[in-house]
Structures are given as structure tokens and as C-alpha cells.
Amino acid sequence: MKNRMFSSILLLALLIGSFSACSSNNNDEAAASAAPQSNVEEKTEVGGNSDSSSFEWNGNTITALTEEGKKQTDIIIPENCEAIGCAAFQNSSVKTISFADDDDVKLDIMAFSSDTIEEVKLPANLSVISNSCFQMAKSLKSITIPASVTVLENYAFSACHSLEEVVFEGNGIETIGMESFSHCDAIETLTIPEGVTTIDKNAFLDCTSLKSISLPSTLKTVEHSAFGSVPDLEDLYFAEGVELEEVGDIWLVPGNHDVNIHIKEGSWCDLNREVWNIWEFGNIVTENN
């Protein structure tokens, strides 16, 4: 209970800080808007809802939607957009977002934080999902993280209460950031991709619908309460090659002895089952290769 209360306080504090950062960024952008915006003049209008006039610009950065843009439900980000600013889609009717090309783009904090957004198709060459990028996108239902993404920052998808499916296309991410999926209470099945070595603290805290988790062979560190408050967890699968080096306190719900912990016969997990207290959380199920 203390852990959940502390996490909620942290989440509230981060939200306040994020909005303050947004406000500061917007003030800077307002000052910058007095300068000539020659790049905007050169933008190619690819038609439909990707018309540059649907957006407010600072150079090649989308800072907000125009009044007309806010009325759109389906938005295509123009191909010459290089960045999306803080809370750019707030107070709009936008439900789906896609990109006119697959080039990398910089995403500011809370770039896609919106009550209405249900789907975002990220560009294939995106490299970073930034801090709090989707935080509080309450209607987001699913997300596919492109193979090009190598960094998943803290709070990236925190409090996306409708998020049911997370698909990792590649294996370039090494760390699942702190509270990156905390309070995503609609996810039922989760597969952490190969390549991930660290799951940071509270990464999946309060994912209360989680029933199945699969961990990759590359995993080395699971931080404090990484999967805290997942009371309905039924199955936890360790890949054969896992060799853990560090496990934080109460990383999994203590006392939930209904969890089936699946390990491979003869694997590191099997040979070291007496060394780590991680096995005290449920029933060990040893499977043949």
C-alpha cells in the first residue's frame, strides 16, 4: 500500500513538472515565433489532414494544432516535420495519428498526451520514445514500437489506462525505463524483447490486469517493484539463457503463491533456484527443452 501511495505521489509530481516544462517550452516558442519562419513557407502539402495549415509551427517543429486541426479525428504528420512539441495534441478531437514518411522525429515530453488519441503509427526510423511521451494518453489502445527504437525513457507510457497491447518489433532497447508502463491497467500479456538487459524500478507497477509475462534471455537486472502490484499474475516465463545479476526488493507481488514461474531444466534459473529469493513468489514449473 505504501509503495502504491508513493508511486501515485511521484506520478502526480511528474505531471505537475511536465506541465510546467510544457509551459516553459511554449513561452520559449512564442518568443521564437516572432522570427521569420521560412521553413514553414517551403513545406510540402501532401493533402488531406496532413496539410501544414492544420498545425502551428516553430521552424520544423509542430507546437500545437490550429483550431481547424483540432477538429480533425485523423491526422497525418507532414513529411518535413522534424519534431513534435510538448502537449501538441491537447484539447483536440484527434483519434489516429500517422506519419507521411518514416524519417526519425524528435518527440518532446507529453508529445502525444491526450484524452482522445486511440492509435499512433510511429515512423519506422524513430530512435527514441522520450520521457513521458505518451503519458496520460488515456484512450490509447495499442502501440507498436518500431525496430529502430533504441531508447525507451522514463514514464513513456505511464497511465495509459486503455492500453491493451504492446508490440516490440526489434531488439535494440536495453533498458525499460522507470515507470515506463506504470498504471497501464488494461495490459494482460507482455513479452519483453531480446536485447533488454534492465527493467527499471516500477516499470510495470500497477499493471493490475497482467496475467502473463515473458522475460528475455538477455535480462540481467530487475529493479525494485518492477512488476509491483500485479495481483492477478498467473504465469512468469524465464527464457533459457537468463543469468540474473541483480534483483530489487519486492520486484514482484509478494505473497501471490498462485504464480507459475516457468524455467528451463538445466538452465541458470534451474541451477540457481536456491540462491535467489525470487522463487519465493510462486510455484516453480521446470520445463524440458
DSSP 132-183: TTTTT-TT--EEEE-TT--EE-TTTTTT-TT--EEEE--S---EE-TTTTTT
Q: Phi-psi region for residue 2, left (φ > 0), alpha (ψ -120 to 50) or beta? A: alpha
Over the chain (289 residues), the average pLDDT of each successive run of 10 is 50 52 51 38 41 91 96 95 97 97 97 97 98 98 98 98 97 97 97 97 95 97 91 92 87 72 92 75 84
| Largest Cα span, the chain | 68
Q: Which domains does the chain have, with CATH numbers?
A: 1-29+47-170 (3.80.10.10)
Q: Which of 60, 89, 84 has its CA nearest to residue 72?
A: 89
CA distances, 8 to each of 102, 130, 163 (Å): 36, 21, 19
The pTM of the full predicted model, rounded to 2 decimals, is 0.84
Give me the pLDDT at residue 49, please: 52
Strand partners, 285: 262
Q: Are strands 175-176 and 198-199 parallel, antiparallel or unpaired?
A: parallel
Give me the pLDDT at residue 27, please: 46
Q: Are strands 83-84 and 61-65 parallel, antiparallel or unpaired?
A: parallel
Q: Which residues of 88-120 are buried (b: 16+ CB within 10 A; e: fewer)?
A: bbbebebebbebbeeeebbbbbbbbbbebbbeb
Give me the pLDDT at residue 231, please: 86
Give me the pLDDT at residue 18, please: 54
Question: Strands across the sheet with 119-120, in order?
Answer: 74-77, 96-99, 119-120
Cell of 196: 533488454
